[in-house]
Chain A
């Protein structure tokens, strides 16, 4: 039943890791639910240890899940095995953080982009090669790149090849895990532009994962904020920046370094404190309460569920209705 409902939905997703030498388990992803609409860019933001990359890997079925479901267009991915899984999985492709590590240095650009086509048994050899050139053009590289080896290219060029490779099988969902984080500012801008225009042209859905709120806010329609394996807030991008509903989102916005002259910049809020505790031993009640300046007794006792607020935001905070939180400093 294509065309109806969200393209991808994760519900109650759990991914646990066994810790060496300890009896407990690290709940890297601990009951996360979200949906990605058709041709939507959904951003996931969070600090290290929040579970962003584990969610990406779980969606790609690269990580066995301990609970919940991953549904692609009505099909439960987590229940598929073998050939059936491979058939579905080609609909979701991934771009990784490090462009240097994610290309085989012994392959030419043509081999790298052609490989998924070959494995997917798509078309004749001639058709595949024409497709490689077409894909290169799509990502802003010309035909002269087909014979190049990875080591002769810059990080930006390599990331373009990685994107071309990810697009080869015409996925419906592109998962970008920190795909621009290792790039220089000027190069990063080119890749962000490329992702924006590709999404527009191909009408694909994108899961864009990053620690950089500025980059995510530039691209995403909606943003999910992760903290220690749980979603703190899911909101439309504009309202998340202007009026955050979770104290952690407020802290992230305050911490973002603003490249603005002093006349256009509000002072940094003095409320940024502490570091995320280990996901292996999250605090009782609300996980953010140890760093939250609004925390009360209830927050220690009771874990807040992610619930809808008036206006459409989803928030996991007991006090969401009464708090007046500060948006992006501007």
Chain B
């Protein structure tokens, strides 16, 4: 399938008082139309910075990017500011973790949707308003004809996230980046929002990059997953491959750290240490200081090796057999 979004060798740098630091290194990621791809990692891994860089939302005064993010034949990272503004919301959209801060509290939600419609399309107010009601119906907001007149504070967290999704998808963009879209929601609402994203992606062929810290969310929603650690992708494969037979010790560690009903009260695997600060990244494998499989050879930089449709950044992956989510579970 043709790639809707193709990120190639993305690097992101920030200027800090201690000099320039690199937050994302050499990241490549491809999403096809109608596909949901996961980007998973813990805090500080660079997931959100990656999303903001693709959207061109990082402040240029303190940041710098290299590489490319191809949306069709256009490189988002090289677009002139006015063309980027036009592409955002029409061709590529983003939703965030906290819908309350992403919505404007002073405007009715109907107006916030029609604003987006009229920014990108030459349509009448009446047509834009009709479109707002239609998209709110699509995202499952109850009683949309009345709710267009509601202010964000009058809606629940789940409804606000539905409105955010409506705004993001009203122009039928080719790509949606969803950054922890369900993290602040209750679990029953999360299930509904994830189901909605999957359904809309299927129905409209939207390519979705789903950023999350939760491998459970990835397993429920995505077909492929990229695991990020300390600014780099350390593993990329299908979700089943990652869960059944992870090849990077970090991916395996994340899986082992999740409490499981079958292993009640048994000690969970806990990855020792913490993510190194950007100012003191190890020169070799970035996970090496925390990795129980580390050996002398890991002190050298590790390339992302691609084979059989999956990629892993671990020099020892050929010799290691790492536990996944099914180990200890009856087949």
Contacts and interface: CB of A to CB of B under 8 A. Distances in A.
Interface string B29-52: 000000000000011000000000
A264 B325 contact: yes
Contact of B261 (A190, A251, A330): A330
A186 B329 CA distance: 21
Interface string B198-231: 0000000000000001111111100000000000
Contact of A211 (B186, B191, B195, B326): B186
A259 B216 contact: yes
A48 B187 CA distance: 10
Contact of B216 (A154, A211, A257, A264): A257
A15 B177 CA distance: 42
Given A237-B264, A260-B243, A186 B216 contact: no
Contacts of B159: 275
Contact of A268 (B43, B195, B215): B195
The binding surface of chain B is classed by DSSP as helix
A77 B235 CA distance: 54
B270 A268 contact: no
Contacts of A215: 259
Contacts of A258: 216, 219-220
Nearest to A156: B274
Contacts of A328: 261
Interface string B178-205: 0000000011111110110000000000
A275 B190 contact: no
B187 A264 contact: no
B15 interface: no
A252 B220 contact: no
B269 A260 contact: no
Nearest to B40: A185
B243 to A, nearest CB: 4
Contacts of B326: 260-261, 263-264
B259 A214 contact: yes
A255 B257 contact: no
Contacts of B255: 259
A272 B192 CA distance: 7
A257 B219 contact: yes
A192 interface: yes
B244 interface: yes
The binding surface of chain A is classed by DSSP as helix
B124 interface: no
Nearest to A154: B274
Interface string B229-273: 000000000011001100000000111111111011101111100
Contacts of A187: 270, 274
Contact of A196 (B215, B239, B265, B324): B265
Interface string B257-296: 1111101110111110010000000000000000000000
A218 B259 contact: yes
A276 interface: yes
A186 B42 contact: yes
B239 to A, nearest CB: 7
B140 to A, nearest CB: 10
Interface residues of B, number: 49
A300 B177 CA distance: 42
A330 to B, nearest CB: 7
A237 B195 CA distance: 28
Task: From A47, A215, A260, name the one whose CB has the most chain B CB atoms within 10 angstroms.
Answer: A260
Nearest to A248: B188
B19 to A, nearest CB: 21
B156 interface: yes
A241 B259 CA distance: 14
Contacts of B216: 214, 256-259
A309 to B, nearest CB: 22
Nearest to A330: B261
Given A263-B240, A264-B329, A47 B257 contact: no
A198 interface: no
Given A218-B260, A257-B217, A258-B219, A192 B268 contact: yes
A241 B240 CA distance: 24
Given A218-B264, A241-B261, A257-B217, A252 B240 contact: no
Contact of B259 (A217, A251, A265): A217
Nearest to A190: B270
B158 interface: yes
Contacts of A201: none
Interface string B301-315: 000000000000000
A184 interface: yes
Given A237-B264, A254-B191, A259-B219, 7 more contacts: A48-B157, A214-B216, A217-B261, A257-B191, A257-B217, A261-B244, A275-B189
| A-B interface, 9 closest residue pairs, ranked by CB to CB distance from nearest | A257-B216, A218-B259, A190-B270, A186-B271, A189-B257, A189-B268, A47-B186, A255-B191, A189-B270
14 contacts: A156-B274, A184-B43, A184-B213, A185-B257, A218-B268, A254-B191, A255-B190, A257-B187, A257-B219, A258-B219, A259-B214, A259-B255, A260-B243, A261-B325
